[in-house]
Amino acid sequence: MNLKQLEAFRAIMTTGSTIGAATRMGLSQSAFSRLLTQLAYHLGLAP
């Protein structure tokens, strides 16, 4: 887990959407999705 992954989660909570969060962080949708997948893996929420 790293800070960027936690920032992605926070951005979703702040903006209320993944599109808004990706835009806020200056990332493409696919890059943002990768961050979330990595975070879920580290938290044991993804296979």
Residue 32, classified by CB atoms within 10 Å of its CB into exposed (0-12), middle (13-18) or buried (19+), is buried
Please compute the mean of the pLDDT values over residues 4-26 and round it to a whole number. 97
Please compute the mean of the pLDDT values over residues 4-28 and round it to a whole number. 98
Q: What is the dihedral of CA 25, 3, 35, 16, to 10 degrees?
A: -50
User: What pTM, to 2 d.p., does this model score?
Assistant: 0.86
Please compute the mean of the pLDDT values over residues 31-39 and round it to a whole number. 97
- DSSP assigned state of 34: H
Per the prediction, the chain carries an average pLDDT of: 96
How far apart, in whole angstroms, are the C-alpha atoms of residue 26 and residue 3?
15
pLDDT reported for residue 46: 85
pLDDT reported for residue 3: 97
